[in-house]
Structure 1
Amino acid sequence: MTASPDFLQPDRRAAAALCALLGSPEDLRQPGIREAAERARDLLQSGAGADELATCYRVLDTALRRAGDARGLVNESRGGAAPGITPHIRVAVCPGPARCSRIERARDLFPAPHCAVNGTRMLKGRLGPAQ
Protein backbone atom coordinates (compact mmCIF):
# COMPACT_ATOMS: atom_id res chain seq x y z
CA MET A 1 0.00 0.00 0.00
CA THR A 2 1.30 3.44 -0.89
CA ALA A 3 1.34 6.01 1.89
CA SER A 4 -0.10 9.46 1.25
CA PRO A 5 2.35 12.37 1.35
CA ASP A 6 2.35 14.64 4.37
CA PHE A 7 1.05 18.07 3.32
CA LEU A 8 2.29 20.40 6.08
CA GLN A 9 2.77 23.64 4.13
CA PRO A 10 1.41 25.08 0.89
CA ASP A 11 3.07 22.48 -1.29
CA ARG A 12 4.17 23.78 -4.70
CA ARG A 13 4.45 20.19 -5.94
CA ALA A 14 0.82 19.59 -5.02
CA ALA A 15 -0.22 22.79 -6.83
CA ALA A 16 1.70 21.64 -9.93
CA ALA A 17 0.12 18.18 -9.71
CA LEU A 18 -3.32 19.77 -9.31
CA CYS A 19 -2.73 21.90 -12.40
CA ALA A 20 -1.67 18.82 -14.40
CA LEU A 21 -4.67 16.86 -13.06
CA LEU A 22 -7.13 19.61 -13.99
CA GLY A 23 -5.64 19.67 -17.47
CA SER A 24 -6.24 15.94 -17.91
CA PRO A 25 -9.95 15.25 -18.58
CA GLU A 26 -9.50 11.46 -18.49
CA ASP A 27 -8.19 11.64 -14.90
CA LEU A 28 -11.22 13.72 -13.82
CA ARG A 29 -13.84 11.21 -15.01
CA GLN A 30 -13.90 9.11 -11.85
CA PRO A 31 -16.64 10.01 -9.32
CA GLY A 32 -15.61 12.57 -6.72
CA ILE A 33 -12.28 13.51 -8.29
CA ARG A 34 -13.46 16.49 -10.34
CA GLU A 35 -15.29 18.00 -7.36
CA ALA A 36 -12.30 17.57 -5.04
CA ALA A 37 -9.91 18.98 -7.66
CA GLU A 38 -12.12 21.99 -8.33
CA ARG A 39 -12.44 22.65 -4.59
CA ALA A 40 -8.64 22.53 -4.23
CA ARG A 41 -8.28 24.91 -7.18
CA ASP A 42 -10.79 27.33 -5.66
CA LEU A 43 -8.99 27.27 -2.30
CA LEU A 44 -5.64 27.83 -3.99
CA GLN A 45 -6.99 30.76 -6.02
CA SER A 46 -8.53 32.37 -2.95
CA GLY A 47 -5.27 32.22 -0.99
CA ALA A 48 -6.50 29.74 1.63
CA GLY A 49 -4.26 28.81 4.54
CA ALA A 50 -1.79 25.94 4.54
CA ASP A 51 -3.92 23.78 6.86
CA GLU A 52 -7.05 24.14 4.75
CA LEU A 53 -5.12 23.41 1.55
CA ALA A 54 -3.40 20.41 3.13
CA THR A 55 -6.76 18.96 4.15
CA CYS A 56 -8.17 19.48 0.67
CA TYR A 57 -5.07 17.95 -0.97
CA ARG A 58 -5.40 14.94 1.36
CA VAL A 59 -9.06 14.47 0.36
CA LEU A 60 -8.14 14.67 -3.34
CA ASP A 61 -5.20 12.28 -2.86
CA THR A 62 -7.51 9.77 -1.15
CA ALA A 63 -10.15 10.10 -3.89
CA LEU A 64 -7.53 9.47 -6.59
CA ARG A 65 -6.18 6.39 -4.81
CA ARG A 66 -9.68 4.98 -4.21
CA ALA A 67 -10.40 5.43 -7.91
CA GLY A 68 -7.40 3.24 -8.70
CA ASP A 69 -4.74 5.89 -9.37
CA ALA A 70 -1.81 4.58 -7.31
CA ARG A 71 0.10 7.83 -7.90
CA GLY A 72 -2.30 9.80 -5.76
CA LEU A 73 -1.99 13.55 -6.13
CA VAL A 74 1.73 14.17 -5.66
CA ASN A 75 4.00 11.93 -7.65
CA GLU A 76 6.90 12.61 -9.99
CA SER A 77 4.86 11.34 -12.95
CA ARG A 78 2.24 14.07 -12.44
CA GLY A 79 3.28 17.67 -12.09
CA GLY A 80 6.48 19.64 -11.87
CA ALA A 81 9.42 17.35 -12.49
CA ALA A 82 11.17 17.73 -15.81
CA PRO A 83 14.25 15.50 -16.03
CA GLY A 84 16.93 16.36 -18.55
CA ILE A 85 16.08 20.04 -18.93
CA THR A 86 19.03 22.31 -19.64
CA PRO A 87 19.17 26.07 -18.89
CA HIS A 88 18.75 27.20 -22.52
CA ILE A 89 15.30 25.68 -22.97
CA ARG A 90 12.29 27.97 -23.24
CA VAL A 91 9.57 26.99 -20.81
CA ALA A 92 6.11 28.04 -19.72
CA VAL A 93 5.71 28.73 -16.01
CA CYS A 94 2.80 29.35 -13.68
CA PRO A 95 1.36 32.86 -14.21
CA GLY A 96 -0.68 33.45 -11.08
CA PRO A 97 -0.24 34.66 -7.53
CA ALA A 98 -0.66 31.07 -6.29
CA ARG A 99 2.46 29.85 -8.12
CA CYS A 100 3.04 26.17 -8.64
CA SER A 101 6.23 24.48 -9.80
CA ARG A 102 4.73 23.17 -13.03
CA ILE A 103 7.06 23.67 -15.98
CA GLU A 104 6.05 22.91 -19.56
CA ARG A 105 8.05 23.09 -22.78
CA ALA A 106 7.23 26.36 -24.58
CA ARG A 107 7.53 26.34 -28.34
CA ASP A 108 7.87 29.75 -29.95
CA LEU A 109 5.24 29.22 -32.63
CA PHE A 110 2.56 27.84 -30.31
CA PRO A 111 0.68 29.58 -27.50
CA ALA A 112 1.69 28.71 -23.95
CA PRO A 113 -0.25 25.87 -22.28
CA HIS A 114 -3.31 26.66 -20.18
CA CYS A 115 -2.89 26.87 -16.39
CA ALA A 116 -5.95 25.17 -14.94
CA VAL A 117 -5.33 26.51 -11.42
CA ASN A 118 -5.23 30.20 -12.38
CA GLY A 119 -7.52 29.97 -15.42
CA THR A 120 -5.15 31.65 -17.88
CA ARG A 121 -2.24 30.84 -20.17
CA MET A 122 1.12 30.11 -18.60
CA LEU A 123 3.95 32.62 -19.07
CA LYS A 124 6.87 31.88 -21.39
CA GLY A 125 10.44 32.34 -20.21
CA ARG A 126 13.86 30.72 -20.08
CA LEU A 127 14.69 28.00 -17.61
CA GLY A 128 17.18 29.36 -15.12
CA PRO A 129 20.01 27.43 -13.48
CA ALA A 130 18.16 27.32 -10.14
CA GLN A 131 15.22 25.54 -11.73
Structure 2
Amino acid sequence: MVASPDFSPSDGRTAAALCTLLGSPEDLEYPGVREAAERARDLLRAGADTGELAACLRTLDMLLRQSGDARGLAAGSRGGEVPGVAAHIKVAVCPGPARCTRVERARDLFPAPHCAVNDTRMHKGRLGTAQ
Protein backbone atom coordinates (compact mmCIF):
# COMPACT_ATOMS: atom_id res chain seq x y z
CA MET A 1 0.00 0.00 0.00
CA VAL A 2 1.27 3.46 -0.86
CA ALA A 3 1.57 5.94 2.00
CA SER A 4 -0.56 9.05 1.84
CA PRO A 5 1.39 12.14 0.87
CA ASP A 6 1.79 15.04 3.26
CA PHE A 7 -0.89 17.58 2.41
CA SER A 8 -0.02 21.23 2.75
CA PRO A 9 -3.29 23.18 2.81
CA SER A 10 -1.43 26.33 1.78
CA ASP A 11 -0.18 24.59 -1.38
CA GLY A 12 -2.32 25.52 -4.38
CA ARG A 13 -1.88 22.03 -5.85
CA THR A 14 -3.89 20.55 -2.98
CA ALA A 15 -6.77 22.90 -3.73
CA ALA A 16 -6.46 22.05 -7.45
CA ALA A 17 -6.63 18.32 -6.70
CA LEU A 18 -9.69 18.85 -4.50
CA CYS A 19 -11.32 21.02 -7.16
CA THR A 20 -10.71 18.35 -9.82
CA LEU A 21 -12.13 15.67 -7.53
CA LEU A 22 -15.26 17.72 -6.78
CA GLY A 23 -15.78 18.19 -10.53
CA SER A 24 -15.63 14.44 -11.18
CA PRO A 25 -19.04 12.87 -10.45
CA GLU A 26 -17.81 9.30 -10.98
CA ASP A 27 -15.07 9.68 -8.34
CA LEU A 28 -17.54 11.15 -5.84
CA GLU A 29 -19.67 7.98 -6.04
CA TYR A 30 -17.21 6.05 -3.88
CA PRO A 31 -18.55 5.46 -0.34
CA GLY A 32 -17.85 8.43 1.93
CA VAL A 33 -15.83 10.35 -0.64
CA ARG A 34 -18.44 13.02 -1.44
CA GLU A 35 -18.96 13.86 2.24
CA ALA A 36 -15.22 14.00 2.95
CA ALA A 37 -14.54 16.11 -0.16
CA GLU A 38 -17.31 18.56 0.71
CA ARG A 39 -16.06 18.79 4.29
CA ALA A 40 -12.52 19.50 3.04
CA ARG A 41 -13.90 22.14 0.67
CA ASP A 42 -15.85 23.79 3.50
CA LEU A 43 -12.79 23.78 5.77
CA LEU A 44 -10.64 25.23 3.00
CA ARG A 45 -13.18 27.99 2.32
CA ALA A 46 -13.49 28.81 6.02
CA GLY A 47 -9.73 29.10 6.49
CA ALA A 48 -9.74 26.30 9.05
CA ASP A 49 -6.84 25.25 11.21
CA THR A 50 -4.04 23.75 9.12
CA GLY A 51 -3.92 20.57 11.19
CA GLU A 52 -7.66 20.00 10.95
CA LEU A 53 -7.66 20.52 7.17
CA ALA A 54 -4.62 18.30 6.65
CA ALA A 55 -6.30 15.53 8.69
CA CYS A 56 -9.44 15.86 6.58
CA LEU A 57 -7.41 15.67 3.35
CA ARG A 58 -5.56 12.57 4.61
CA THR A 59 -8.93 10.94 5.39
CA LEU A 60 -10.18 11.80 1.92
CA ASP A 61 -7.02 10.38 0.37
CA MET A 62 -7.44 7.16 2.40
CA LEU A 63 -11.12 6.82 1.36
CA LEU A 64 -10.21 7.21 -2.30
CA ARG A 65 -7.47 4.59 -2.06
CA GLN A 66 -9.70 2.15 -0.13
CA SER A 67 -12.32 2.54 -2.85
CA GLY A 68 -9.80 1.42 -5.48
CA ASP A 69 -8.58 4.79 -6.78
CA ALA A 70 -4.80 4.30 -6.63
CA ARG A 71 -4.21 8.01 -7.30
CA GLY A 72 -5.78 9.04 -4.03
CA LEU A 73 -5.85 12.79 -3.72
CA ALA A 74 -2.19 13.16 -4.67
CA ALA A 75 -1.83 16.55 -6.32
CA GLY A 76 0.62 15.28 -8.91
CA SER A 77 -1.81 12.78 -10.36
CA ARG A 78 -5.16 14.55 -9.96
CA GLY A 79 -5.42 17.95 -11.56
CA GLY A 80 -1.81 18.86 -11.06
CA GLU A 81 0.60 20.12 -13.65
CA VAL A 82 3.16 17.94 -15.34
CA PRO A 83 6.60 19.56 -15.71
CA GLY A 84 7.31 20.46 -19.32
CA VAL A 85 3.73 19.90 -20.49
CA ALA A 86 1.34 22.76 -21.06
CA ALA A 87 -2.25 22.57 -22.21
CA HIS A 88 -2.87 24.41 -25.44
CA ILE A 89 -6.32 25.18 -26.70
CA LYS A 90 -6.47 25.78 -30.43
CA VAL A 91 -8.75 28.64 -31.39
CA ALA A 92 -9.69 30.66 -34.44
CA VAL A 93 -9.20 34.41 -34.05
CA CYS A 94 -10.08 37.41 -36.14
CA PRO A 95 -7.33 38.02 -38.73
CA GLY A 96 -8.14 41.44 -40.08
CA PRO A 97 -7.21 45.02 -39.30
CA ALA A 98 -10.67 45.63 -37.77
CA ARG A 99 -10.17 43.05 -35.04
CA CYS A 100 -13.16 41.80 -33.17
CA THR A 101 -13.00 39.76 -29.98
CA ARG A 102 -14.58 36.70 -31.58
CA VAL A 103 -12.77 33.51 -30.58
CA GLU A 104 -13.96 30.06 -31.60
CA ARG A 105 -12.65 26.58 -31.02
CA ALA A 106 -10.52 25.51 -33.98
CA ARG A 107 -10.87 21.88 -34.92
CA ASP A 108 -7.84 20.33 -36.59
CA LEU A 109 -9.64 18.65 -39.45
CA PHE A 110 -11.93 21.55 -40.33
CA PRO A 111 -11.05 24.87 -41.94
CA ALA A 112 -11.22 27.93 -39.74
CA PRO A 113 -14.60 29.72 -39.69
CA HIS A 114 -15.32 32.64 -41.98
CA CYS A 115 -14.89 36.18 -40.61
CA ALA A 116 -17.83 38.22 -41.88
CA VAL A 117 -16.25 41.53 -40.83
CA ASN A 118 -13.05 41.08 -42.85
CA ASP A 119 -14.53 38.69 -45.44
CA THR A 120 -11.79 36.10 -44.96
CA ARG A 121 -11.13 32.94 -42.98
CA MET A 122 -10.16 33.36 -39.36
CA HIS A 123 -6.62 32.37 -38.37
CA LYS A 124 -5.91 29.38 -36.18
CA GLY A 125 -3.79 29.99 -33.15
CA ARG A 126 -3.42 29.13 -29.49
CA LEU A 127 -5.49 30.64 -26.74
CA GLY A 128 -3.36 33.05 -24.76
CA THR A 129 -3.78 34.42 -21.27
CA ALA A 130 -5.09 37.71 -22.63
CA GLN A 131 -8.00 35.91 -24.30
Normalising by structure 2, report the TM-score.
0.62
Give the distance between the partners of 2:26 and 2:44, measured in 1 at CA: 22
Q: Which residue of 1 aligns with 2:86?
A: 85
More divergent stretch after superposition (54-63 vs 2-11): 2-11
Post-superposition Cα deviations, 1:49-91, rounded to whole Å, max 9, x if no partner, equal 21111011011001001101111101423112144228xx67x
Post-superposition Cα deviations, 1:71-113, rounded to whole Å, max 9, x if no partner, equal 1101423112144228xx67xxxxxxxxxxxxxxxxx548xxx
Give the distance between the partners of 2:104 and 2:59, measured in 1 at CA: 39
Give the distance between the partners of 1:41 and 1:85, measured in 2 at CA: 27
Shift, 1:32, TM fit? 0.2
Q: How does 1:1-131 map to 2 (within 5 A)?
A: 1-82=1-82, 83-85=84-86, 108-109=103-104, 126=129
Unpaired stretches in structure 1, ≥5 consecutive residues: 91-107, 111-124
Give the distance between the partners of 1:23 and 1:85, measured in 2 at CA: 21
Q: Find the residue that maps to 1:14 and give its secondary structure.
A: helix
Please tell me the root mean square deviation across aligned C-alpha atoms, in Å: 2.5
Normalising by structure 1, report the TM-score.
0.62
Structure with the bigger RCO (C-alpha within 8 Å, sep 6+) is: 1
| Amino-acid identity (%) | 60
Decide whether aligned partners of structure 1 residues 66 and 84 sit closer, same or farther in structure 2, where only a CA change above 3 A counts.
same
Unpaired stretches in structure 2, ≥5 consecutive residues: 90-102, 106-127
Runs of 4+ deviating beyond 4 Å:
none
Q: Find the residue that maps to 1:76 and give its secondary structure.
A: coil
- Equivalent pairs, count: 95
